[in-house]
């Protein structure tokens, strides 16, 4: 029977990553002085599960590495060893290391072992430490291998049938553990020819017999091509309590020194001899009685057997690399219940309407309207319930920050306290996955540029410990995430100076505080005096803003000198629904994301300038904005080619503003986004489609795609802008 284990890999990866998160947060909460055994248990369990799973699914590198960690944890758990702060650091590094390994495996890449080997030797050094050298159960280099492979290896070296005599007297309580001697004999029969003779000598009289106790013992002759270890394996589960002797009577196969065992060449015929004869033979045989070791670890050795298969695995994985990633989601049972509830109500409404339609006359109209109203309410509730399934609490993202702050503050020598608020605020899983990195960047930024060194804080009359607060809450249809620090705040003068230097603003420009703060999101902007490896490479904030805008969100900063800064991210709760502005161009209806619209204006030709290169620009107060004609891009016939009769919608995308020429603005509404890629193919300038109330399909426009399509390049835009500046 062959089962493709790879079908369980995705679940394994996900649960391992979750396990690592559990380990990490437990490690961070661990007080080494006053060690809580439940926390240690929790860490141990997570490591243990990862090891078990990785071994089972053939990820031997992960299994080997986790084994070392588990061994140390086991000693700590058993109280054989005290946990020290150094251990915690090492465990935390290992968590990172395993996470990296799992991610590589998930992506089908080769696993980078240098970190793992490094850590492994550090763990080994601790394990080999004087006080407990002997306590480490299994050497780390031994790959976890099932006992079955012991017999596989042994079987390969044997040749020909052997005759074994087995004396078996189980413990009286053997049946109470669910073990059944007859099943063991059946197994022996599967190996070869077994003659089982029961000895009832110990059986008490019928009056005193306890039906749950086993009084029997057995003499068995087995002729089979097996090694002793294989026979022992049959009795593996009862070996410790039973009296068991396994003796080789004679050998048929040509061994190098037949005399040594006193083997008789004729013994093959002994397979049918009477038990008494066998006993006699045994007595005469010089073969030493086999003592059975009670050590359970005895069955585990032979690391070689599994190795080739494990090594072949990465190559096989590579081939699968391109297969699409299927991610799953864990949903609370209450959400599923509410969904089922909702569907139940929908069914009731449907049957009610069905009933109504059977012999409908106008007198039933109010009833029909009532039914339809109910249907629309059911639909709305159902939609909300389905949306909620994709919602997860933001604690999934927040949970990575305690570690980040712990590590970074250590590196920088700052004292920082992290406060998490609104962890239960829910948002869409996809949004959550994509907001993690921008948030990491912002938190790093606050740590590096915001919070001052302890001595500077004391000088400024603040507590030496800085405070970073992550806050999340719902506002309207959005989730708001704030990253608040109580550091020194943005240096507005420096920002302005830098912006002038880089030509982002004119020297004489009057900017509000808000506008100055906003400059940090411009491409190529960094005020860090020294580029540290924490942040400040100047490729940050603009990327952060772009990533957030891709999620149809926005980010702003508010800052007070000496008091700190607050970064506020606003995101839609889901990517499946969009607040859209319907616009018409010719006979078509398009949808613009509401969040990208700055204003809509009617223009007169005085405001429109033509610059070299054929691009029209709109003069909008002090700015010049390129004009993009939707009808040109989509090659349709508009109601009017005259700009004065059209509407200009000023939108922002890709950090620049453009004015879209449309015929009219229609309604604003929430639209459900349908992917074009899934149903048709990717189209530049269009991010998706939706179905309107009247059943027609409307395309949702992608502003940055439109900018590209229209051929407005940033350098050109700059030129336009500079030209505009001169004109002004």
Partner 1 sequence: MTKILAVDDSASMRQMVSFTLKGAGYEVVEAADGKLALEQAKKQQFDLVLSDVNMPVMDGITLVKELRALSNYKFTPILMLTTESAGDKKMEGKQAGATGWLVKPFNPDQLLATIKKVL
Fill in the per-residue mask, 73 to 102: x = in contact with partner 1 (CB under 8 A), - = not in contact: -x----------------------------
Q: Which of 23, 24, 26, 44 binds partner 1 (CB under 8 A)?
A: 44
Shortest spacing between CB 555 and partner 1, in angstroms = 36
Taking CB under 8 A as the criterion, which residues in 142-201 touch partner 1? Answer: 144-148, 175-180, 183-184, 187
Other Cβ atoms within 10 Å of 679 Cβ, number: 9
The Cα-based distances of 19 to 26, 188, 266, 429 in angstroms read: 10, 42, 60, 19
**With binding defined as CB under 8 A, does residue 312 bind partner 1?**
no
Query: For partner 1, which is the closer residue by CB, 74 or 485?
Result: 74
Total binding residues toward partner 1, as defined by CB under 8 A: 54
> Annotated catalytic residue: which of 179, 219, 378, 445?
445
CA gap 97, 543 in Å, rounded: 27
Q: Which of 20, 27, 30, 53 binds partner 1 (CB under 8 A)?
A: 53
CA gap 722, 728 in Å, rounded: 10
> Is 70 one of the annotated active-site residues of the chain?
yes
Query: For partner 1, which is the closer residue by CB, 186 or 380?
Result: 186
Shortest spacing between CB 78 and partner 1, in angstroms = 9
Query: For partner 1, which is the closer residue by CB, 53 or 450?
Result: 53
Residues 6+ apart with CB under 8 A from 232: 239, 244, 246, 292, 299
CA gap 404, 24 in Å, rounded: 11
Taking CB under 8 A as the criterion, which residues in 392-411 touch partner 1? Answer: none
> Annotated catalytic residue: which of 70, 247, 248, 426?
70
**With binding defined as CB under 8 A, does residue 8 bind partner 1?**
yes
Shortest spacing between CB 62 and partner 1, in angstroms = 11
Long-range contacts of the stretch 293-297 (C-beta < 8 A, 24+): 294/239, 294/240, 297/137, 297/138
The region of 7-15, 344-352, 614-622, 681-689 touching partner 1 under the rule CB under 8 A is 7-15
- The SS3 assignment for 169 reads strand
- How far is Cα of residue 547 from the mean position of the Cα atoms in its chain? 20
> Is 445 one of the annotated active-site residues of the chain?
yes
Fill in the per-residue mask, 661 to 690: x = in contact with partner 1 (CB under 8 A), - = not in contact: ------------------------------
The Cα-based distances of 608 to 618, 625, 717, 720, 727 in angstroms read: 5, 9, 15, 13, 13
CA gap 294, 347 in Å, rounded: 64
The region of 66-74, 217-225, 531-539, 559-567 touching partner 1 under the rule CB under 8 A is 66-74
The region of 44-52, 334-342, 548-556, 651-659 touching partner 1 under the rule CB under 8 A is 44-52
Render 538-605 in DSSP notation, one character per residue: S-SHHHHHHHHHHTT-EEEEEEETTTEEEEEEEEES-SSEEEEEEEEETTEEEEEEGGGEEEEEE--G
Query: For partner 1, which is the closer residue by CB, 212 or 606?
Result: 212
**With binding defined as CB under 8 A, does residue 326 bind partner 1?**
no
Taking CB under 8 A as the criterion, which residues in 212-231 touch partner 1? Answer: 212
**With binding defined as CB under 8 A, does residue 333 bind partner 1?**
no
> Annotated catalytic residue: which of 9, 42, 48, 232?
48
φ, ψ of residue 647 to 5 degrees: the values are -110, 145
Query: For partner 1, which is the closer residue by CB, 242 or 573?
Result: 242
Q: How many helices (H) and strands (E) does the chain have?
A: 24, 22
φ, ψ of residue 651 to 5 degrees: the values are -125, 160
Other Cβ atoms within 10 Å of 47 Cβ, number: 27
Query: For partner 1, which is the closer residue by CB, 300 or 375?
Result: 300
Structure token digits, residue 136: 């480490």
Query: For partner 1, which is the closer residue by CB, 146 or 420?
Result: 146
> Which has the closest alpha carbon to 222: 272, 169, 292?
272
**With binding defined as CB under 8 A, does residue 3 bind partner 1?**
yes
Burial 158-189 (b: 16+ CB within 10 A, else e): eeebbbbbbbbbbbeebeeeebebeebbeebe
The Cα-based distances of 252 to 229, 231, 535, 582, 639 in angstroms read: 18, 18, 75, 90, 101
**With binding defined as CB under 8 A, does residue 236 bind partner 1?**
yes
Shortest spacing between CB 148 and partner 1, in angstroms = 5
Shortest spacing between CB 426 and partner 1, in angstroms = 22
Query: For partner 1, which is the closer residue by CB, 176 or 537?
Result: 176
Query: For partner 1, which is the closer residue by CB, 140 or 405?
Result: 140
Shortest spacing between CB 162 and partner 1, in angstroms = 22
Shortest spacing between CB 212 and partner 1, in angstroms = 8
Shortest spacing between CB 76 and partner 1, in angstroms = 14
For residue 611, how many C-alpha atoms fall within 13 Å in the half-sphere facing its CB?
22
φ, ψ of residue 361 to 5 degrees: the values are -135, 170
CA gap 195, 222 in Å, rounded: 6
Burial 68-107 (b: 16+ CB within 10 A, else e): bbbbbbbbbbeeebebeeebbebbbebbebbbebbebbbe
> Which has the closest alpha carbon to 576: 710, 317, 410, 389?
389
The region of 4-12, 268-276, 642-650, 671-679 touching partner 1 under the rule CB under 8 A is 4-12
Query: For partner 1, which is the closer residue by CB, 72 or 647?
Result: 72
**With binding defined as CB under 8 A, does residue 692 bind partner 1?**
no
**With binding defined as CB under 8 A, does residue 45 bind partner 1?**
yes
Shortest spacing between CB 3 and partner 1, in angstroms = 4
Q: Which of 28, 135, 137, 518 binds partner 1 (CB under 8 A)?
A: 137
Shortest spacing between CB 202 and partner 1, in angstroms = 21
The region of 141-149, 251-259, 537-545, 716-724 touching partner 1 under the rule CB under 8 A is 141-149
- The SS3 assignment for 460 reads coil
Shortest spacing between CB 91 and partner 1, in angstroms = 17
Residue at token pair 């489609």: 689
Render 587-654 in DSSP notation, one character per residue: TEEEEEEGGGEEEEEE--GGGEEE-TTS-EEEEETTEEEEEEEHHHHHT---S-S-GGGSEEEEEEET
CA gap 395, 432 in Å, rounded: 10
Query: For partner 1, which is the closer residue by CB, 145 or 221?
Result: 145
Taking CB under 8 A as the criterion, which residues in 268-297 touch partner 1? Answer: 295-297
DSSP-assigned letter for residue 212: T
Shortest spacing between CB 153 and partner 1, in angstroms = 14
> Is 48 one of the annotated active-site residues of the chain?
yes
Q: Which of 56, 158, 271, 338 binds partner 1 (CB under 8 A)?
A: 56
Binding site for partner 1 (CB under 8 A): 1-3, 5, 7-9, 11-12, 15, 42, 44-45, 48-49, 51-57, 63, 67, 70-71, 74, 137-138, 144-148, 175-180, 183-184, 187, 212, 234, 236-237, 240-241, 295-297, 299-300
Would you name the residues annotated as active-site residues?
A: 48, 70, 445
């Amino acid at each position: 029977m062959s089962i493709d284990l790879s079908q369980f890999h995705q679940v394994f990866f996900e649960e391992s990553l979750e396990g690592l998160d559990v380990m990490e947060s437990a490690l961070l909460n661990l007080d080494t002085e006053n060690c809580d055994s439940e926390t240690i248990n929790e860490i141990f369990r997570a490591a243990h599960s990862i090891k078990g799973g990785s071994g089972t699914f053939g990820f031997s590198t992960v299994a080997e590495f986790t084994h070392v960690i588990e061994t140390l944890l086991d000693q700590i758990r058993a109280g054989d060893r005290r946990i020290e702060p150094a251990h915690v650091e090492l465990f935390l590094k290992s968590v990172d290391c395993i996470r990296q390994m799992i991610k590589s495996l998930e992506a089908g890449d080769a696993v980078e072992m240098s970190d793992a080997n490094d850590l492994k030797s550090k763990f080994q050094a601790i394990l080999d430490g004087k006080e407990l050298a002997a306590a480490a159960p299994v050497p780390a280099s031994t790959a976890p291998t099932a006992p079955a492979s012991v017999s596989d290896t042994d079987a390969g070296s044997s040749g020909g049938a052997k005759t074994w005599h087995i004396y078996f007297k189980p413990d009286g309580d053997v049946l109470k553990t669910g073990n059944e001697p007859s099943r063991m004999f059946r197994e022996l029969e599967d190996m070869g020819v077994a003659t089982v003779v029961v000895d009832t000598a110990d059986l008490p009289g019928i009056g005193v017999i306890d039906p749950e106790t086993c009084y029997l013992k057995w003499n068995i002759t087995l002729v089979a091509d097996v090694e002793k270890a294989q026979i022992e394996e049959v009795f593996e589960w009862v070996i410790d309590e039973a009296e068991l002797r396994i003796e080789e009577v004679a050998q048929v196969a040509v061994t190098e020194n037949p005399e040594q065992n006193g083997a008789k060449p004729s013994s093959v015929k002994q397979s049918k001899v009477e038990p008494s004869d066998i006993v006699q033979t045994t007595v005469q045989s010089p073969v030493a009685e086999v003592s059975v070791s009670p050590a359970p670890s005895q069955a585990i050795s032979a690391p070689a057997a599994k190795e080739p298969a494990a090594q072949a695995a990465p190559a096989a994985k590579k081939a699968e690399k391109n297969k699409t990633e299927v991610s799953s989601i864990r949903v609370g049972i209450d959400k599923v219940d509410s969904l089922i509830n909702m569907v139940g109500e929908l069914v009731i409404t449907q049957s009610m309407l069905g009933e109504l339609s059977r012999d409908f006359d106008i007198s039933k109209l109010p009833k029909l309207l009532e039914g339809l109203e109910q249907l629309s309410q059911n639909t709305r509730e159902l939609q909300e319930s389905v949306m909620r399934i994709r919602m997860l609490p933001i604690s999934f993202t927040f949970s990575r920050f305690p570690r980040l702050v712990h590590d970074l503050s250590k590196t920088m020598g700052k004292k920082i306290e992290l406060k998490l608020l609104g962890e239960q605020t829910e948002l869409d899983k996809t949004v959550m996955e994509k907001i993690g990195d921008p948030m990491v960047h912002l938190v790093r930024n606050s740590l590096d540029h915001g919070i001052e060194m302890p001595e500077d804080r004391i000088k400024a009359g603040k507590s030496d410990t800085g405070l970073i607060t992550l806050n999340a809450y719902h506002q309207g249809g959005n989730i708001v995430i704030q990253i608040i620090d109580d550091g020194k705040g943005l240096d507005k003068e420096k920002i302005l100076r830098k912006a002038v230097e880089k030509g982002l603003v004119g020297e004489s420009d009057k900017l509000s505080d808000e506008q100055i703060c906003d400059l940090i999101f411009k491409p190529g902007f960094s005020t860090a005096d020294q580029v540290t490896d924490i942040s400040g490479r100047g490729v940050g904030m603009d990327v952060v803003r772009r990533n957030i805008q891709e999620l149809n969100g926005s980010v702003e900063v508010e800052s007070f000198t000496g008091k700190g800064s607050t970064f506020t991210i606003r995101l839609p709760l889901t990517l499946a629904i969009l607040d859209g502005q319907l616009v018409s161009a010719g006979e078509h209806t398009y949808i613009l994301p509401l969040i990208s619209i700055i204003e809509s204006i009617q223009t007169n030709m005085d405001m429109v300038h033509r610059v070299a290169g054929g691009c029209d620009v709109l003069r909008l107060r002090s700015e010049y904005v390129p004009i993009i004609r939707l009808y040109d891009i989509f090659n349709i016939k508009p109601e009017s080619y005259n700009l004065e009769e059209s509407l200009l919608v000023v939108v922002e995308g890709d950090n620049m503003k453009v004015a879209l020429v449309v015929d009219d603005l229609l309604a604003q509404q929430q639209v459900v986004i349908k992917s074009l890629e899934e149903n048709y193919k990717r189209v530049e300038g269009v991010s998706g489609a939706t179905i309107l109330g009247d059943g027609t399909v409307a395309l949702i426009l992608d502003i940055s795609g439109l900018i590209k399509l229209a051929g407005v390049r940033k350098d050109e835009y700059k030129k336009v802008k500079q030209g505009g500046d001169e004109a002004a």
